[in-house]
Amino acid sequence: MNARNQLQESDAQRPVLVAGATGAVGSQVVRALLERGASVRVFVRSLDKVDALPAHVDRVVGTLEDRDAVARALRGVRSAFFVAPHDADEEQLAENFVAACEREQTRLVFSGVHAGGANRFTRLAMRTLFGRMMPHYIPKLRIAERVRTSRTTSVVLTPGNYFQMDELIREELLAGRFILPMGLVPRVDTRDIGDAAARALLDGSVASGAYSLVGPTSLTGEESAAAWSVALGRSVAYAPDFEAAALLFERLYGGRKAVDFRESYRLLGGVKVKTSPREVQETTFLLGRPPRPFARYALETAARWQAPAMPTGANLVTSR
C-alpha cells in the first residue's frame, strides 16, 4: 500500500463529528453516517438523549458556548457537521464552531438558511432582498455566509422547509385541517438532508460551495393538504391559521425556536417560490438518486401513525 492509500485509510478511520446530533437534521445525519459504516462522534448537551445510539458512537458532552468543549470535540475528526440552533445567540455559537474548524482545518458541512447566487453581486442582491422580506433571518444569512467564506473546506447545504414540520400539526391533520400557512414552497425530507450531508462529510471530492436541498417540486398548502388526504384516507382541507400555528409552536417549544417557526410561517404563507431544475439537480447529485417526494413521505408517516404502539406527539425525528 502506498503512502497516499495509507493516508486515505487512516483518514477514513477518524470519526465524523455531528453537532446538534439530537436535533431534526443532526439525528438524520448520524443515522446516515452509521448506515454508511462511518465512525461517528456526537457533540451533545446531555447524554440522556443519545442513549439509543450504538455503544461505538463516541460522545462528547458540552455546549456551543464553551469553546474548549468545541475544540475537544473537533480534535482528530475527519469532518464536522453543524446546524445553527434556534438560539438568540446563534451567530456567536456558530462563530465558536466555525472558528474552531478553521483552527483545526476541519472540513465543515453546514445546513441552514442561505441566500445563494452565482456571483458576489447576485449573492448580495439575494441577501438584501431576503433580509427585507425576512429581517428576523438576517443573522442566519450571515452565519451561512460566514461558513461559505470560512478559511477551511466548507459545504453549505440550503434545505427547503422540512416535510417533517407537518408532524407538529398531527392532531390538526387527523381532524382534517392543514393549518400551516404555505404559498408555494420548496420542501424537503430531513432524511434526504441527512443522506446528502453524510455524502458531503465522507466524500472529499464534493466541492466547497452552496448546494440546494429540495424535494422534486415546490408545494402549495393545498397540495400538501391533498397529499395528507390520500395518505390518511380522509379529507384534509388547506385551512391556514397563522395564530393557531404560532400558539402551537409556543406551547411545544416556547423561546427562540417558537419565534423562528412563527416567523418562518409568516413568510411561507405569502411566498411563491418554484423549485428550479438546478436545485433538483444539486440535490440529486449529493444523494446519488432523486429526492424523496412529499406524497411518499406522507404515506409512510400516516402508516406509522396508524401502526399500534407508536409514540405520539411532536417528534420531528422520523426514522427511515
In the complex, the residues that contact ligand NAP under the rule CB under 6 A are: 20-26, 45-46, 49, 63-65, 83-87, 93, 112-113, 140, 159, 161-162, 165, 257, 260, 316
> Cβ contacts of residue 4 below 8 Å, gap of 6+?
none
In angstroms, give the least distance from the CB of 233 to ligand NAP: 26
Q: Please, which residue, 204 or 255, has the CB nearer to ligand NAP?
A: 255
> Exposure of 177 by Cβ count < 10 A (0-12 exposed, 13-18 middle, 19+ buried)?
buried
Q: Please, which residue, 150 or 176, has the CB nearer to ligand NAP?
A: 150
Q: How far is CA 76 from CA 14, 72, 95, 168, 172, in A?
A: 7, 9, 20, 38, 46
In angstroms, give the least distance from the CB of 83 to ligand NAP: 4
CA separation for the pair 178, 163 (Å, rounded): 13
Q: Please, which residue, 176 or 316, has the CB nearer to ligand NAP?
A: 316
Residue whose entry in the numeric block shows the C-alpha cell 387527523: 174
In angstroms, give the least distance from the CB of 97 to ligand NAP: 9
CA contacts within 13 A on the Cβ side of 196: 33
Return the beta strands (E) in the chain as ranges.
16-19, 40-44, 58-61, 79-83, 107-111, 154-159, 161-162, 177-178, 184-188, 209-213, 218-220, 237-238
Q: Please, which residue, 70 or 236, has the CB nearer to ligand NAP?
A: 70
In angstroms, give the least distance from the CB of 3 to ligand NAP: 38
In angstroms, give the least distance from the CB of 197 to ligand NAP: 11
User: What is the rounded (10 degree) CA torsion for 225, 158, 47, 31?
Assistant: 70
Q: Which residue of the chain is nearest ligand NAP when measured via CB?
A: 23
CA separation for the pair 84, 250 (Å, rounded): 20
Helical H segments across 115-203, by residue range: 120-133, 138-148, 170-174, 190-202
In angstroms, give the least distance from the CB of 124 to ligand NAP: 21
Q: Grid coordinates standing for 178?
A: 392543514
In angstroms, give the least distance from the CB of 238 to ligand NAP: 18
Q: Please, which residue, 176 or 269, has the CB nearer to ligand NAP?
A: 269
Q: Please, which residue, 162 or 228, has the CB nearer to ligand NAP?
A: 162
- Do the Cβ atoms of 275 and 186 come closer than 8 Å? yes
Q: Please, which residue, 14 or 86, has the CB nearer to ligand NAP?
A: 86
